[in-house]
Amino acid sequence: MMFRVALCGLLVSTLLTQVSSAVAQDAVPVILAHRGGAYEYEENTMQGFRACYEAGIRGFETDIRMTKDGVLVILHDDDLKRTHNGTGAVEHMTADELKQITTKQGQAFLFLDELLEYFADKPGVMIELEMKTKNHDLYPDSRIDEYCVKLHEAATRLQPAGSKYVFTSFDKRPLKAIRGLDADARTAFIKSAPLTPEFIAEAKELQANHIACRISGTSRDLVEQAHAEGFQVNCWPGRSPQDFYLAIGLGVDVHCTDIPMAIQKVKEGLP
């Protein structure tokens, strides 16, 4: 019995050492600050993005929408009311109107160019630009091309050498449009579901480079299958250190987390 306990202890110790080594070497996964750290700062604000960058985090995720007058802005929801002192869809408002809107804590509404300009002199950063076009009432087919052309132009114009910007979406329409604009663009297909063979097949049909899947229910075997097909895999959501360790165990490339500062401390504290 004592031998079994000792053996189990040795195996656990070996596993933890291997995990610690992988994390310490910054091998995988990349920490991606979801909405700039949505559980640690007001989401999608310069405060969050700046604080995460200054803490050493080099991966970020954000959400892109387009105003009535064709200006690209940062907002997750279809309506302002949850996160801002305002109501309604930004798609029904002008850029000048949004300049008068603040977050619940009084921060300025964030425009895409402001975010990209902040990172323009900061190489070595990964940014996932989620194209929030799934609502067909707000984004009929007739708006997709204009949206994608403007987003692609802004991202490529301000992307520094050595950084990786990825165009992501649940909506297949902008992924196809971006691929049509730029054969070399990096794209990611997102689903609110674990990784499956069917999910991989859909991403392959879209000629995506990345797959973003739910961490719960995703298996290591399917992550390895996706890797064999040439994809990088991003698992989300991440809301605890346990989710981070699971991401390591699954062998994913990117861990998209709402608590990037806390996860960064976990990484820094490991030998």
pLDDT digits (tens, 9 = 90+) for 111-136: 999 999 999 999 999 999 999 999 99
Mean pLDDT of the chain: 92
Q: How many domains are there within the chain?
A: 1
| CATH code, 245 | 3.20.20.190
Residue 111 located in a structural domain: yes
Q: If we measure between CA atoms, which residue out of 172, 171, 221, 173 comes closest to residue 196? A: 221
Residue type, 224: E
Residue 236 located in a structural domain: yes
At 20, the pLDDT band (50, 70, 90 cuts) reads very low
Angle between helices 197-205 and 220-228 (to 10 degrees): 20
Question: Residue 182's beta-bridge partner residues?
Answer: none
Total Cβ atoms within 10 A of residue 247: 28
Residue 15 located in a structural domain: no
Residue 2 located in a structural domain: no
Assess whether the previous peptide bond of 237 is cis (omega < 30° from 0).
Answer: yes
Question: Which residues constitute the domain of residue 74?
Answer: 28-269
Using a cut of 0.85, tell me whether the model's pTM lies above it.
yes
Does the pLDDT value for residue 202 go beyond 50? yes
Residue type, 255: H
Residue 12 located in a structural domain: no
Residue 5 located in a structural domain: no
According to the model, what pLDDT value does residue 268 have? 82
Does the pLDDT value for residue 18 go beyond 70? no
